[in-house]
Every structure is written in C-alpha cells, then in structure tokens.
C-alpha cells in the first residue's frame, strides 16, 4: 500500500516507520524543512526505543521524507493525518492544523483515497474533515474519512504500534474499512511476527492483535474515553494513596490487593505526583469540553483533573515537611521528563515542581538521563544547575527528590548516594524504593501513600554534625 503520513511528530513518525516496517511504501511529510532534512540525513528527532533501527532499516527504501504535501498525497492511496491538536485556552482541542491539512489534501485528490485521522481528535472531527474537503473541491466519491486512533505510549511507541492490545478502525463505508484492514493485515494475520528481523515484543500484548471496526464517531470516542479512563485510574489511586497516608496504610499493598482482581488490573495503578505528558492533560480537557458542548456535564473528569493538580501540591508539602524551610536549601532533583524512558517534558509534573521550588528560593541540582536539554529551554536559568549523574546531583545536597520513574533511579547505589548527600533525606514522588530498605540504609524517606520512615535522629551527630541514622522508626 502507498501511504502518506502528514506530520512527523511522535505519532506521525512512529506510524510512518512502523508502516514501512510492515512492508508499505511510506512518505512522511512535514512542513518543517529542517526536520525533514534531518530525517533524510539519518537524524532521529525523538528519543524512542527501536525508532533509530526502523529509520535506518527503511530510510530511502520503504520510507521517504518530503515537504511536498500535494505531490505525496497524489502518490498515495491512504493519507494519515498526524498533526498536532494542542489545547486552546478554553481547553478544547485546537483543530486548526487538521483543518488546514484537510484543505490541502482536498485540493490534491484526483482519485479515490482514504483520509485517516491518526491524531487524537474529538468526536465529529471526521464529519468536519469531510465537509471542508467537499467545500475545497474534493469529489464526494473520491475519498472517505476514517478514524484510526493510536494507543502508543511515549518511550514504548514502536512496541505499542507493532504489538497493540487492539487496532481500532472507525470507517463508515466498507470500501474504506477494507483498505484499513489491508494496511494492518501483516499484524492481524500474524505474518509480521514470523519475520526474521521482527522488533521484539516488549508489551506482552496478544498475537495476533484483534481489529475492532466501528463507526468513525465511535472510534473517535474510543480514543478520548481510553485516555480519560486511564487518567481516572491514576487519579483514583492517588486519592486512595492520600487516604492511606491519613490512616497509616500502605498503597502498594492496597494496589496489589485490588489490582489482582482481573476486572480492575494492576497496570496504571501507580500513585505518584500525578499524570503529565502531551496526551492525558490535553485530552481530559478536550473530552470534558466536547461533552459540555453536546450538553453533558462530565463532572467526573473535572474531579480527575483537580485530584491530579492537588497531587503536585501535596508533594511540595511533603518536601516542606521533610526540610522545614525551603529558602536556600540545596536540592538534588532526579528526573525532569514527564515519565521515565522519554525526553519529553510537556506538562511534566517534575518541571512544575522544580519551578515551584525555584520560586521558594531553593538551589536545584537536576539530573535526567534524557530530558535535560529540553528542560533547559523552559526552566528559569537562575538557581538551577544540571548534573551528569544522580550522584553528582546529590553531592552536598540537603535532600534528594525523585520526580520521574526512570528505571535507573530505582537501582541507585544507596550507600554511595548517602555518602554524597549532606543529609540523608529522600522524598520519592514515584515510590521507586522500598521504605524499609531506605531506612535500613540510613535514609529519612517519604514517598506517596506509604508511611514515612526515618532512622531515629539521635545524637551524637556524625562527622560534620550530620544527623546519624540509627534505627528504623515510623515518622510521626
Ligand atoms: C498515553 C496513553 O497511555 C497511550 O495509550 C496513548 O496513546 C497516549 O497517551 C496518547 O494519547 O498519545 P503517554 O502520554 O505516552 O501515553 O504516557 P503514559 O505512559 O500513559 O503516562 C502518562 C502519565 O501518567 C505519566 O506522567 C505517567 O508518569 C503517569 N502515570 C502512569 C502514573 O502516574 N501512574 C501510572 O500508574 C501510570
């Protein structure tokens, strides 16, 4: 199949590389000339596992890059729209890029093609796309508009694309549905998984994946409702974690207990400093506003969003509780990305917390394995320095804060960390460590939804007057 993917951001570039991997002839289009040149010259603009391999494998063969939208559209049978749909100030999805691209596609269409929404868009978008395309001169029989939402997560996007839990295709004509079925046939028939150089399965999803064919409206809703449900799961468990803190229970035990119910499931039940990223915050607002426009007040989503915001404020209170006053304190910060495994800092709770700490007059020394450069662009320059390792960040700090769930932060050399810090205080916003283990290693440790532990603060003090962690005790 000849496929054009318009937009070479996270979704578009991963989709283009994966379609090429499935054997299709793909053109990845963007109006950013520099990005296209970079991609043509072997560059990889995002940090994504297996993407460099796929680009190297297919660049110049199954996969080409272009800034020429009309030409690429004319050469393709399926046109996927994967341009940005940011939030407007009012919280709705800004669909102006989708509209602009639809008009450009309309003027280039000369024979039957399918135009497929891949970006996350609100219900009714496919109807609008069809309408503007007709107004811009595309013949009614020359195209169908479909919705084929993507469920990929940043950091594991390639694996999620090639090993999905399900493929959702929203198409209102059989002709359109059968073209989309053909595009995904290498996955749904299982043929792809028998290949020699297949990307390994890291998601544990069923093979072959099921394909769910629905109306376009249902597919649009499936995307928003999936993200809203996952965000609800996170806010729910954060709320339960807060209750655990109030009664002295342990959220991990509670999660294991409720997650073992197969109707609930253990995944996405990890409490922390709230969800962030380019999807959940934006999609929750957009879903809530689309519901409002249709006359339904989806109050549950408002609560999910407010619990999420409160979670960051609670974390700051934990830092204050651990340190008393904040002004002038030297803080080591581990993690700036919105989650581990990515360099993306969009709507990152870590960035928001660092900004708040800088405002309080703290001196921050931050380390992130991938997101530092991006963080530098948005964080103030005063009061913050960037380190090359967790231990360098910790050197001489009054406390260490864990803000992103990078796997390497769960495997820190604890004695080395303790030796580097001025005080052995760790506030863990991602529950990466075992409280008993932290106390046994001499730390004063707080996390989310679990009792704080602290080695007793007995005198005589150790060298330099530091507090000595002696016995394990629960914090008051
Ligand atoms: C999310 C969805 O998981 C994907 O299915 C979807 O395709 C994507 O949005 C999208 O719409 O494009 P992503 O934003 O990459 O993917 O990240 P997630 O792994 O879902 O994490 C989102 C946020 O929730 C992160 O800040 C993460 O730290 C937080 N989170 C996640 C928790 O706080 N607890 C959890 O148990 C899981």
205 CB within 6 A, ligand 1: no
Please tell me which residue in 176, 244, 255, 279 is annotated as part of the active site: 279
* Distance (Å, whole) CA 330 – CA 234: 31
Decide whether any atom of ligand 1 lies within 6 Å of the 227 Cβ.
yes
- pLDDT given for residue 472 in this prediction: 40
- Ligand 1 centroid to Cα of residue 227, in Å, is 8
Binding site membership of 230 for ligand 1 (Cβ less than 6 Å)? yes
Q: What is the pLDDT of residues 379-430, one digit of tens each?
A: 999 999 999 999 999 999 999 999 999 999 999 999 999 999 999 999 999 9
- For position 461, what pLDDT does the model report? 44
* pLDDT at site 457: 53
User: Would you say the CB of residue 442 lies under 6 angstroms from ligand 1?
Assistant: no
- How many other CB atoms are found less than 10 A from the CB of residue 321? 12
Query: What is the whole-number distance in angstroms between the Cα of residue 210 and the centre of ligand 1?
Result: 22
Q: Does 78 contact ligand 1 (Cβ within 6 A)?
A: no
pLDDT < 70 positions in the chain: 456-476
pLDDT at 456: 63
H or E segment at 65? strand 63-66
Q: In whole angstroms, how far apart are CA 386 and each of 7, 40, 225, 335?
A: 32, 32, 38, 11
Q: Which protein residue has the closest C-alpha to ligand 1 atom 18?
A: 153
- Specify the pTM: 0.93
Atom 25 of ligand 1: nearest residue by CA position: 275
The pLDDT tens digits for 47-95 are 889 999 999 999 999 999 999 999 999 999 999 999 998 888 888 889 9
Ligand 1 and 152: CB distance under 6 A: yes
> What pLDDT sits at residue 213?
98
Check pocket membership of 340 for ligand 1, CB cut-off 6 A. Answer: no
Q: Is 279 a catalytic residue?
A: yes
Cβ of residue 186 lying under 6 Å from some atom of ligand 1: no
Identify the pLDDT of residue 377.
97
Closest atom of ligand 1 relative to the 274 alpha carbon:
33
- CB-based contacts of 203-206 (< 8 A; 24+ apart in sequence): 203/156, 203/159, 203/160, 203/163, 203/164, 203/165, 204/163, 205/163, 205/164, 205/165, 206/165
The closest-lying atom of ligand 1 relative to the alpha carbon of residue 342 is 15
Helix, strand, coil shares, percent, the chain, to 5: 45, 15, 40
What is the 153 CA–ligand 1 centroid distance (Å)? 6
Residue with tokens 């296209």: 36
Strand ranges, E, within 317-392: 330-334, 363-367, 384-386
From the CA of 201, how far away is ligand 1's center (Å)?
19
Give the pLDDT score at 428. Answer: 98
CA of 396 to the centre of ligand 1 (A): 34
């Amino acid at each position: 199949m000849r496929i054009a993917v318009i937009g070479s951001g996270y979704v578009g570039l991963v989709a283009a590389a994966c379609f090429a991997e499935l054997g299709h002839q793909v053109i990845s289009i963007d109006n950013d000339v520099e990005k296209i040149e970079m991609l043509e010259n072997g560059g990889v603009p995002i940090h994504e596992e297996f993407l460099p391999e796929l680009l190297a494998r297919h660049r110049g063969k199954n996969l080409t890059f272009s800034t020429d939208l009309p030409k690429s559209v004319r050469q393709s049978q399926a046109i996927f729209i994967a341009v940005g749909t940011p939030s407007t100030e009012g919280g709705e999805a800004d669909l102006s890029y989708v509209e602009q691209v639809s008009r450009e596609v309309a003027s280039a269409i000369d024979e039957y093609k399918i135009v497929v929404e891949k970006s996350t868009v609100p219900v009714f978008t496919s109807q609008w796309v069809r309408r503007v395309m007709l107004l811009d001169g595309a013949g009614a029989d020359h195209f169908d508009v479909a919705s084929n939402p993507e469920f990929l997560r940043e950091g594991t996007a390639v694996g999620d694309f090639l090993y999905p839990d399900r493929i959702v295709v929203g198409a209102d004509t059989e002709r359109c549905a059968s073209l989309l079925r053909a595009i995904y046939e290498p996955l749904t028939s299982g043929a792809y998984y028998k290949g020699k150089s297949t990307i390994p399965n890291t998601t544990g999803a069923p093979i072959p994946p099921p394909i769910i064919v629905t109306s376009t409206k249902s597919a649009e809703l499936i995307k928003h409702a999936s993200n809203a449900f996952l965000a609800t799961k996170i806010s729910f468990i954060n709320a339960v974690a807060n209750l655990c803190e109030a009664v002295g229970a342990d959220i991990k035990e509670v999660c294991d207990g409720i997650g073992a119910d197969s109707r609930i499931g253990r995944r996405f039940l990890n409490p922390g400093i709230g969800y962030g990223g380019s999807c959940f915050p934006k999609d929750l607002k957009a879903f809530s506003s689309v519901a409002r426009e249709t006359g339904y007040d989806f109050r549950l989503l408002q609560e999910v969003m407010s619990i999420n915001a409160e979670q960051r404020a609670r974390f700051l209170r934990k830092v204050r509780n651990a340190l008393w006053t904040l002004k002038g304190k030297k803080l080591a910060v581990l993690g700036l990305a919105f989650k581990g495994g990515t360099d993306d800092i969009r709507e990152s709770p870590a960035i928001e917390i660092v900004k708040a700490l800088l405002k309080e007059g703290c001196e921050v020394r931050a380390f992130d394995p991938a997101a530092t450069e991006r963080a530098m662009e948005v964080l103030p320059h005063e009061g913050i320095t960037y380190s090359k390792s967790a231990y360098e960040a910790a050197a001489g700090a009054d406390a260490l804060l864990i803000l992103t769930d990078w796997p390497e932060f769960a495997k820190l050399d604890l004695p080395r960390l303790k030796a580097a810090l001025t005080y052995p205080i760790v506030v863990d916003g991602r529950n990466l460590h075992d409280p008993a283990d932290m106390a046994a290693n001499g730390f004063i440790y707080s996390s989310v939804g679990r009792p704080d532990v602290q080695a007793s603060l007995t005198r005589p003090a150790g060298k330099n007057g530091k507090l000595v962690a002696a016995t394990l005790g629960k914090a008051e």
